[in-house]
Structure 1
Amino acid sequence: MEHFAKIDELLIKLNSYRPLTEGELQRIREEFLISFTYNSNAIEGNTLTLQETALVIKEGITIDKKPLKDHLEAVGHKEAWHYVEELVKQKDQMSEKVIKEIHSLVLMDKREDRGVYRRVPVTIMGATNTPPQPYQVPLQMEQLILRYQQPTQLHTLERVALFHLEFEAIHPFIDGNGRTGRLLLNTELMKEGYPPIDIKFSDRKRYYDCFKSYHSDGNNPLEMVSLVKEYVEEELTRYLELIMMANNDF
């Protein structure tokens, strides 16, 4: 566990400070939501810019010449994020019901597919694995949740990274798997006291390579664990700087 020592140290240090006020937290959360929605949707092909995403989310403005689908994806992701924040507050356990509810909010533009496991086979472009046949999905999802709930020696970051890899490998829905998976990843991080992470659109090649590496290297999650760890460390450091500034502790 030695390689997580720095992360754990940062988390302890962050928790030792007087927390930010509700207003300060609100501001940070709002900025994160806009950036996370932009990046997570952009990874899946959404064409809204960061600024346009902010206008859609905050002002409800329609962007000229941009598809309705892109607007609905931004609004759906925002709604799903608010639902995730509630889950974290309630400390709700990971379950198929939670996954389907997050997916239902994410897939605002495709009413009939919301929260429904896929009924057709799929292939993932450029992937080194083939997702299971539709009839295998319910059982594999059930097993994934059971595995995740088992006591383990793994560090939280290893657990959530592995869950993300396995969830995306099952590819349980016809669409919206990536966005749902990243929201689930953040749900689990936040429940354990870590800040949420925002995997950047500009980092998407490395992100995709984590999946390739997992499937071509005997299900070794190391690359994804490293990616998650880097992002968490970056967020913890940023939060710590903000909170030290707020506490006048330089």
Structure 2
Amino acid sequence: MQKLRVRWTHSSTALKGNALTEAETLDLLQYGLTIAGKPLAHHNEVLGHSRAIELLYRLIADSRPLTDPDLHALHAAIQTSVEVEYLKPVGAWKVEPNSTLAKQEGRTVINDTYAAPEQVPALMREWFKGFAMRRDDPSVPALDAYAWSHATLVRIHPYADGNGRLARLVANVPVIEKGCLPILVPAGQRLEYIECLASWQMASGALRAGTALEGNRDRLAQFHEKCAGWMKSSSSLLDEVEEAQRQRRGAITPA
């Protein structure tokens, strides 16, 4: 569980650009050591993500439907900036439109397909319904539940910041409940991950209430394929722990 917490926190924060290595993430979370030369904000991001994992485990233990306040609490945990801006609320839906830069056919373009602030409440109601259905239906594979929940939440982009980290957390609720290890996006595949989602979002067009959250299904299938690869990579974590246990047992000899 400790190894999972460190790797999950490192992989997700590194995708945002956090400079702490996995070893430094361990030093901070397990020993409380600060890393010389690394920004305070990056330390706080790591600590915030670790707290969010604890909140996630409690949600899973309670076995109850996910609600707006639950999502807001997770968002407040990962958004650790000391700066408070009215136009960038923490633990509340966004109040201003947001966009990101993306690459398309070799050019830098603006990805402004995210939902407008006034559309967010209705779209999130649809998202919660879709999330609950995939979470509660035992016939829905963990991979399908993860890919849909992750991609569609990022497409709505309901918060001013932190949407990716939040999606990578929440989408793993049904994965864990279905008996699988969390799916972790490798930090080394940051560009591939960002471009795959952006390509699907831009092919799907601007998101508005009443439109299907899935958007362009062919492009979404490409993201699903990548998630399948990441799911296999995540399973290696258990292999590492089991191998360590075998070595430990082999080193113990009867007195």
TM-score bucket of the superposed structures, by smaller chain: 0.7 to 0.9
Give yes or no for contact 1:56–1:71 (8 Å, CA) kept in 2. yes
CA change 1:35–1:237 in 2 (3 A) is closer
Residue 137 of structure 1: aligned partner: 120
Residue 199 of structure 1: aligned partner: 185
**Correspondence 1:118 to 2:89:** no
Deviations 1:103-162 (A, max 9, x none): 111112257432111101111221655111111111111111123334776533112201
CA change 1:83–1:241 in 2 (3 A) is same
How far apart, in 2, do the equivalents of 1:163 and 1:118 lie?
Answer: 19
How far the C-alpha of 1:240 sits from its partner, in A, is 5.7
Residue 166 of structure 1: aligned partner: 152
Residue 77 of structure 2: aligned partner: 105
Give yes or no for contact 1:124–1:130 (8 Å, CA) kept in 2. no
CA change 1:70–1:203 in 2 (3 A) is same
Residue 74 of structure 1: aligned partner: 46
How far the C-alpha of 1:238 sits from its partner, in A, is 4.9
Runs of 5+ consecutive residues of structure 1 not aligned to the other structure: 1-28
Residue 233 of structure 2: aligned partner: 234
Relative to structure 2, which stretch is displaced further, 186-195 or 238-247? 238-247
Letter in 1 for 2:97: P
Residue 184 of structure 1: aligned partner: 170
TM-score (norm 1): 0.78
Give yes or no for contact 2:114–2:157 (8 Å, CA) kept in 1. yes
Give yes or no for contact 1:118–1:172 (8 Å, CA) kept in 2. yes
Give yes or no for contact 1:39–1:200 (8 Å, CA) kept in 2. yes
Percent identity between matched residues is 24
Runs of 5+ consecutive residues of structure 2 not aligned to the other structure: 103-109, 205-215, 248-255
Relative to structure 2, which stretch is displaced further, 166-175 or 33-42? 33-42
Residue 86 of structure 1: aligned partner: 58
**Correspondence 1:175 to 2:161:** yes
Give yes or no for contact 1:69–1:109 (8 Å, CA) kept in 2. yes
TM-score (norm 2): 0.76
CA change 1:80–1:163 in 2 (3 A) is same
How far apart, in 1, do the equivalents of 2:160 and 2:217 lie?
Answer: 24
How far apart, in 1, do the equivalents of 2:232 and 2:39 lie?
Answer: 36
**Correspondence 1:40 to 2:39:** no
| Aligned length, in residue pairs | 220
**Correspondence 1:149 to 2:125:** no
Give yes or no for contact 2:75–2:166 (8 Å, CA) kept in 1. yes
**Correspondence 1:55 to 2:27:** yes
Cα RMSD (Å): 2.5
Residue 214 of structure 1: aligned partner: 200
Give yes or no for contact 1:40–1:182 (8 Å, CA) kept in 2. yes
CA change 1:146–1:111 in 2 (3 A) is farther
Relative to structure 2, which stretch is displaced further, 176-185 or 91-100? 91-100
Letter in 2 for 1:239: L
